[in-house]
Structure 1
């Protein structure tokens, strides 16, 4: 093989490598970034009778059932300061006079723990409009109880939406 032919084949091979590398690089450069799967804020977990349910395990969604602007957000922030995990915040689909906790299981330990944070809160049957325990603050709501309850003991086996990452 002559020197000129060998040089031509070497240049052609190098040119082909440059073209393939350019196409591969462009393909990788223009590919969209992978999207992270959103981590759920809580997961259903079973709590055995006699087990302790703490504030950091409970997700609370707060909705405003009053005419006062920002009441749900302020209440959610106060609960978060106490150690609860903040869920959804927004306006209630219906007005409320008093503080309501929407649950079909009033004996649930997470419901009982949240109820102990409020003065005069009542547990009423209601569809879950947010994650975790749903609280609707009404016209008569003024503040949380001064006494902070840190945990409750489950009286029977129950299912709660346990905050992701809590033990």
Structure 2
């Protein structure tokens, strides 16, 4: 093979490699970014009777059932200061006079723990507006209870939405 033919063949192979690399690079450059999977704030977890449920394991969603602006946000912030995990915050679809905890099972340890943070909170059946325990603060709500309850012990087997990453 002559030197001229070898040089021409080498240049052709290199040109082909540059073309393939450019096409691959363009395809990679124009491909859309991968979508991040949303991480769930909590996961349903079963606990046995006698198991301890702590504040840092409980997600609380707070909704405003009063006419006072910002009540749900400020209440949620106070619960976070106490160690709870913030869930949804917004307006309740129904007005409320008193503080309500919307749950089907009043004996659920997560519901009991949240209820003990409020004065005269009532557990009532209601829709799951947000993640975790749903609280609707009403017109008569003034402040959280001064005494902070850090944990409760499950009286019976139960399931609650445990905060993702909680130990």
TM interval, short-chain normalised = over 0.9
Task: Return the alpha-carbon distance in structure 2 between the equivalents of residues 6 and 109 of structure 1.
Answer: 81
Q: Normalization by structure 1: what TM-score?
A: 0.98
Corresponding residue for 1:120?
A: 120
1:4-23 → structure 2 map (5 Å cutoff): 4-23=4-23
Offset of residue 50 of structure 1 = 0.4
Deviations along 1:9-44, whole A, 9 cap, x unmatched?
A: 111111001100111111111212222211100000
Corresponding residue for 1:164?
A: 164
In structure 1, stretches of 5+ residues that fail to align are: none
Question: Aligned-pair RMSD on alpha carbons?
Answer: 0.7
Offset of residue 52 of structure 1 = 0.5
Q: Does 1:110 align with 2:73?
A: no
Task: Return the alpha-carbon distance in structure 2 between the equivalents of residues 46 and 11 of structure 1.
Answer: 68
How many residues are paired up? 167
Corresponding residue for 1:149?
A: 149
Task: Return the alpha-carbon distance in structure 1 between the equivalents of residues 104 and 17 of structure 2.
Answer: 67
Corresponding residue for 2:41?
A: 41
Offset of residue 138 of structure 1 = 0.3
Q: Normalization by structure 2: what TM-score?
A: 0.98
In structure 2, stretches of 5+ residues that fail to align are: none
Structure 1 outlier segments of 4+, above 3 Å: none
1:51-70 → structure 2 map (5 Å cutoff): 51-70=51-70
Task: Return the alpha-carbon distance in structure 2 between the equivalents of residues 78 and 97 of structure 1.
Answer: 20
